[in-house]
Amino acid sequence: MNSHISLRRLVAATAVAYAVNAASLSDNCTTTSEVDSVSLEDICTTAYAQSVLPDTDSYPGITIDSTSVTTSIVTNSSVSSEWYPASTIEYCNVTFAYSHNGIKDDIVHVTYWVPSPDSFQNRYVSTGGGGLAINSGSEYIPSGIIVGAVSGITDGGFGSFDTDWDAVFLLANGTINWQSVYMFGYQAHRELATVGKELTRNFFNMSGSTKLYSYYQGCSEGGREGWSQVQRFADQFDGAAIGAPAFRYGQQQVNHLIGNVVEQTLGYYPPPCELEKVMNLTIAACDPMDGLADGIISRSDLCKLKFDLDSTIGEAYSCAATEAGVDSSDAPQTQGSPAQNGTVTAEAIAVVSAYLDGIHNSEGERVYLSYQPGAEFDDTATQFDPETGAWGPSISGLGGEWVGRFLELRDTNTLSTLDNVTYDTLEEWMKLGMQRYYDSLQTTYPDLSDFEAAGGKVIHVHGEQDFSIPTASSVRYYESVRGVMYGGLGFNESVAALDGFYRLYLVPGAGHCSTNGYQPGGPWPQTTLQAVIKWVEDGVEPDTLGGTGNIDTICRWPLRPLWSGNGTSFDCVYHQESIDTWSYALDAYSVPLY
Ligand SMILES: *[C@@H]1O[C@H](CO)[C@@H](O)[C@H](O)[C@H]1NC(C)=O
Ligand SMILES: *[C@@H]1O[C@H](CO)[C@@H](O)[C@H](O)[C@H]1NC(C)=O
Ligand SMILES: *[C@@H]1O[C@H](CO)[C@@H](O)[C@H](O)[C@H]1NC(C)=O
Ligand SMILES: *[C@@H]1O[C@H](CO)[C@@H](O)[C@H](O)[C@H]1NC(C)=O
Ligand SMILES: *[C@@H]1O[C@H](CO)[C@@H](O)[C@H](O)[C@H]1NC(C)=O
Ligand SMILES: *[C@@H]1O[C@H](CO)[C@@H](O)[C@H](O)[C@H]1NC(C)=O
Ligand SMILES: *[C@@H]1O[C@H](CO)[C@@H](O)[C@H](O)[C@H]1NC(C)=O
Ligand SMILES: *[C@@H]1O[C@H](CO)[C@@H](O)[C@H](O)[C@H]1NC(C)=O
Ligand SMILES: *[C@@H]1O[C@H](CO)[C@@H](O)[C@H](O)[C@H]1NC(C)=O
Ligand SMILES: *[C@@H]1O[C@H](CO)[C@@H](O)[C@H](O)[C@H]1NC(C)=O
């Protein structure tokens, strides 16, 4: 199984001659003809990939199966995404498997896309998953090729790249597969990056003294996976581009249920059209508060301070009937719904107010934070029961499965009912999940001193109107890091210190990890990975991020966007009252909730 090692050593012996930085090679035609002549075809073979597999001692505890290696060339592949500029790429698709020593029937698959030698820039990029998936298939991995990096994904050992973690989480009802928890939590990404970096060095004959820059990109669960590495493995990545992380996992997953529990508690299930109308009215009212009437809420904090939700009561709404169909969000199936006509009710506004306020327990203590006004109402989803002719709960798939499978340890994808579930139940669930998975999934360890000392940089982005992971969740973590690392400094001084390696940007009008159809023309920071690379490799500090759409400047926290002169002038401003709206005293906890 390890016959590749001797071959690898042989390769390494001749490697010194090629130990040149590929980025500078491209400017020097005279000395590089021999190296430039190595084509992707030359190295995209199973034999070559086997010869460059990492040594077994590069990651103690795993054994790479060299017989599992596959390679295939992909050329002229057109890729586009909000996470990288549209590009046509070519790469060698290398896959192989490894196992953990001492674990029976254990197999982890990894895929690395390898760029052609003439575009390799001495970089490696790991990419992450979403929901309960530890990879995003081919959605994010092209970003690595675009920046001249070897780019990787893992299946976490869950069976295949298409198998989500939940498929293997229970060994039986009541019995947790803890190996899968730690793999999902952080270990699979540790292995992906360690193996991937070594593979990259070997693939391109890099000498030990040549710097291989390593990066991470991911959003949502993939954002949590990125933080899981930055918090634990200080020198693993030089930079990370992290979006809307699903961290504070114990709270985050249960939080998906608050909408329906608010509705149950208040006894009113608003038709979706009524909620959509409230959102539309909120957008219309709050859009201009940032100084520019462009259909985009850039300042949900001013919206929170100034907008009176009650002003929407009595406004007429109407929506046509819809056919049953498959919903792309976490609700597996949307039921058909009848035409909805009415006026916004006081009951709906009570629901919306409680939902946006966030949950409090029966002692009146605050248990969690919530979404920004103007965000889509995802976790409040209701569905129509044709038998009763009434609207009722549509229990979040992520929230329901979290409780049924991951907390109650039953082999189920959902909760069948929220009967008897109160705010106090939600609090208990949040605390149970936090405690049980504190060292695997919670992912809010706030002391990043080692990462800072290692010279790492993080760009963290979050949509201002995220409907699935509250924007304030990211602000809370930023503030936790600031407080823990620089508690002795004043606010501005500690922000300046944090700016040295960790920056947070809230994206105007954006939803969950992307732009938002209800606020068209809003931006998304499409070149975040490129900005991290410039920061790491060239020392270019990103004051702001660029964006797609009609807004090309995304401000960095705690500064907030503000137009003046009817859109002729733009600034990122300091506004204490706005900053304060993002801060929640979560007094239902006797321990720090970072
Ligand atoms: C090009 O090669 C020359 C001669 O070996 C060397 O001095 C120079 O630094 C190289 N330039 C670049 C950009 O690598
Ligand atoms: C690349 O793909 C495009 C569209 O998919 C096609 O039009 C073009 O001919 C292809 N080019 C090559 C060199 O294969
Ligand atoms: C990469 O190779 C694997 C194994 O052959 C295959 O399953 C996968 O579809 C390939 N991916 C791409 C994007 O070519
Ligand atoms: C690495 O070195 C080997 C052995 O000399 C050579 O066959 C291979 O083409 C080199 N790889 C690259 C990417 O230059
Ligand atoms: C809300 O606004 C969108 C356009 O952004 C529109 O398509 C939709 O019909 C509106 N919803 C209601 C209930 O008015
Ligand atoms: C109800 O809404 C539908 C679809 O928007 C509309 O065609 C219809 O006229 C409305 N009916 C009433 C009574 O308002
Ligand atoms: C495991 O739990 C699920 C969900 O509660 C249940 O449907 C199933 O019957 C249980 N399986 C066994 C073997 O008890
Ligand atoms: C809710 O509580 C009532 C009263 O204690 C009980 O009869 C009922 O079975 C409970 N429902 C569920 C789903 O647990
Ligand atoms: C921070 O600096 C800004 C100017 O950039 C100033 O307006 C503000 O008062 C300062 N805040 C604190 C808490 O010192
Ligand atoms: C602001 O600019 C828009 C578009 O140029 C224009 O329609 C509007 O009248 C202007 N408003 C004011 C108050 O000048």
pTM of the model: 0.91
Give the single-character DSSP code of 403.
Answer: I
User: H/E/C letters for each residue in 136-194?
Assistant: CCCCCCHHHHHCCEEEEEECCCCCCCCCCHHHCCEEECCEECHHHHHHHHHHHHHHHHH
pLDDT of residue 345: 98
Query: Which position has the token pair 């965000």?
Result: 375
Based on the domain organization, do 428 and 304 belong to the same domain?
yes
200 & 255 share domain: no
Across the chain, mean pLDDT equals 93
The strand pairing partners of 172, in sequence order, are: 175
Residue 240 lies in a domain: no
What is the C-alpha separation between 183 and 346, in angstroms, rounded? 47
Tell me, yes or no, whether 318 and 440 share the same domain.
yes
Indicate whether 309 and 406 sit together in one domain. yes
Same domain, 369 and 326: yes
Tell me 130's DSSP state. B
The percentage of the chain sitting over the pLDDT mark of 90, rounded to a whole number, equals: 90
586 lines ligand 4 (CB under 6 A): no
Does 376 fall in a domain? yes
Nearest ligand to the C-alpha of residue 74? 3
The Å distance, Cα 14 to ligand 1 centre, comes to 21
Query: At 219, which helix (H) or strand (E)?
Result: strand 213-219
Pairing of the two strands 457-463 and 502-507: parallel
- Pairing state between β 560-564 and 502-507: unpaired
Domain count, the chain: 2
Verify that 177 and 262 share a domain, yes or no: no
In a domain, 569, yes or no: yes
| pLDDT class of 328 with cuts at 50, 70, 90 | low
> Do both 204 and 251 map to the same domain?
no
Active-site residue set: 220, 466, 512
| The predicted structure's pLDDT at residue 334 | 64
Shared domain check, 54 and 187: yes
Please, are residues 49 and 69 in contact by the beta-carbon 8 Å criterion? yes
State the burial class of residue 342 (Cβ atoms within 10 Å of its Cβ: 0-12, 13-18, 19+): middle
Residue 106 lies in a domain: yes
- Say what the pLDDT of residue 336 is: 79
pLDDT tens string 300-324: 999 999 999 999 999 999 999 988 7
Instruction: Specify the residue with its C-alpha closest to ligand 2, atom 7.
Output: 76
Give the 3-state secondary structure of residue 564: strand
pLDDT tens-place string over residues 123-169: 999 999 999 999 999 999 999 999 999 999 999 999 999 999 999 99
Question: Which ligand minimizes its atom distance to the CA of 288?
Answer: 10
Q: Is 224 among the domain residues?
A: no
How far is the C-alpha of 264 from the C-alpha of 268, rounded, in Å? 7
CA of 80 to the centre of ligand 5 (A): 28
Do the domain assignments include residue 237?
no
The answer to whether 227 and 234 have CB atoms below 8 angstroms apart is no
- pLDDT tier at 326, thresholds 50, 70, 90: low
Residue 245, both tokens: 């992380």
Provide residues with CB under 6 Å of ligand 8: 417, 419-420
Q: Answer yes or no: is 1 within a domain.
A: no
Residue having the nearest C-alpha atom to atom 12 of ligand 7: 173
Residue 279: inside a domain, yes or no?
Answer: yes
SS3 content of the chain, % helix, strand, coil (to 5): 35, 20, 45
Question: In terms of domains, do 520 and 456 share one?
Answer: yes
- Please work out whether the CB of residue 93 comes within 6 Å of at least one atom of ligand 5: no
Report the C-alpha dihedral over residues 139, 141, 146, 147, rounded to 10 degrees: 140
- The mean pLDDT value for 460-472 works out to 98
Mean pLDDT of 252-279: 98
- Predicted confidence (pLDDT) at residue 192 exceeds the cutoff of 90: yes
pLDDT at 26 over 90: no
With cut-offs at 50, 70 and 90, classify the pLDDT of residue 11.
Answer: very low
The β-bridge relationship of strands 123-127 and 213-219 is parallel
pLDDT digits (tens, 9 = 90+) for 510-541: 999 999 999 999 999 999 999 999 999 999 99
Which domain range does residue 492 map to? 245-594
